[in-house]
Amino acid sequence: MKSLKMVFTLEAGANITYTLQNPKAGLTKEAVLEVMQQMLDKQAVISGESLANGIKDAYIYESNRQELA
């Protein structure tokens, strides 16, 4: 299964990660970073009372399940 991970830095010094399952094929880092910046501009990312104040990373994560024998 693939997921898009968007990692933001918080004012308090920690990080927060948003995960979106089954991202659209062909996403570019540039496009994802643009959306992340829009989220920051709208102050849409918050954890507790700490707002996100930066972008740390964005990447596709792929995991696979393996059945036990």
First to last CA, the chain: 21
Please give the Cα distance from 66 to 23 (Å, whole number). Answer: 22
Q: Give the per-residue pLDDT at 31.
A: 97
In whole angstroms, what is the distance from residue 58 CA to residue 40 CA?
14
d(CA 55, CA 45): 11
Q: What's the pLDDT at 3?
A: 97
**What is the reported pTM?**
0.90
Give the per-residue pLDDT at 19: 97
What residue ranges of the chain have pLDDT lower than 50?
A: none
Please list the residues that pair with 14 across neighbouring strands. none
The answer to whether 3 touches 23, Cβ cutoff 8 Å, is yes
Domain map (residue ranges) of the chain = 2-62
